[in-house]
Structure 1
Amino acid sequence: MSITRQNAYTNRKRSIVSNLFSNEIETVHIPTNIKETSTEFLIELIVPGFKKELFDIGIEQNKLSITYKNVIEKNENEDVELSTEKFLVKGYEVKDFSKVFKLPENVEVNSLSAKFNQGILVVELPKSEEKLPVKIQVQ
């Protein structure tokens, strides 16, 4: 079994239709790679400009969730100065997002780890040792 991800096109189409009738925030596309080696699964998210402290990663009901909440801290005494700069090209934005991945049964959920380096979040999911069939001899 492999890690599966929801179909982004179908979800986007459904989201567009839903957004016509609601005030939901537009979903964010985060480029994602999923790799499998002989010992682990790797999920890579390309997230330039994001802060590693603001990621929330967890497993519940055999699903891995990766959530990012962009918290802007503002001192009440500071005057907010409106920026006069404008983007000519805006290739990415730092926005809140949440992604959920259904995990295969052979993932060792207690050994999950994550690393953040140069704008790439890598979640490492070690595979559990395959349970070999046990043969019992009749005596």
Structure 2
Amino acid sequence: MTLIRKHESSLPSIWNDLFERSLFSHPLNGHSEFTVPPVNISENDTSFLVELAAPGLKKEDFNINLDRDQMTISVEQSTKTEEETENKDEHVKYSKREFSYRSFRRSFTLPDTANLEGISAMYEDGVLKVNIAKKDEAKLNTQRKISVQ
């Protein structure tokens, strides 16, 4: 992997714009309008675990909905406009503003072995953990040795 050293300059550069903005950036604010938090999905003998990295939120911000085998995790937040920020403190104007949280929605298709009645969620240290229990028949040890005759 090649590392690229970024040279900070007091003058704005077209190169900075090309490297810092994503394809989904809004041209006026330079922030990504399409933000999807990363997830880890794991399983053990008794359950599945979906971990979603979403620091800076509160547990009340999350909505987790289940529609048949589709689980959707979402956060609906609006960022404060520049006018709202200026009204709060007349003496503060931002030259760059990167502290903002966006709305997002992630959907997951649960496997047939998931117990849809056994889903729990916990938000701690910036990570939402959704534990999905497996059905009892999925917990049975299905490994066995077949003898050759």
Same fold flag (TM > 0.5): yes
Q: Which runs of 4+ in 1 moved over 2 A?
A: 79-88
Match of 2:123 among 116, 120, 127: 116
Indicate the structure (1 or 2) with the bigger Cα radius of gyration.
2
Give the aligned partner of residue 93 of structure 2.
84
Structure 1: runs of 5 or more not aligned: 1-15, 18-24, 74-78, 133-139
Normalising to structure 2: TM-score of the pair? 0.59
| Paired-residue identity, % | 29
Match of 2:46 among 39, 43, 48: 39
Cα RMSD of the aligned pairs, angstroms, is: 3.1
In structure 2, the residue corresponding to 1:109 is in which secondary structure? strand
Structure 2: runs of 5 or more not aligned: 1-22, 25-31, 81-86, 141-149
C-alpha distance in 1 between matches for 2:79 and 2:35? 18
Residues 1-139 of structure 1: matches in 2 within 5 Å? 26-70=33-77, 79-81=87-89, 83-87=92-96, 90=98, 93-130=100-137
Instruction: Report how many aligned residue pairs link the two structures.
Output: 105
C-alpha distance in 1 between matches for 2:55 and 2:95? 19
Letter in 2 for 1:126: A
Normalising to structure 1: TM-score of the pair? 0.63
C-alpha distance in 2 between matches for 1:63 and 1:36? 18
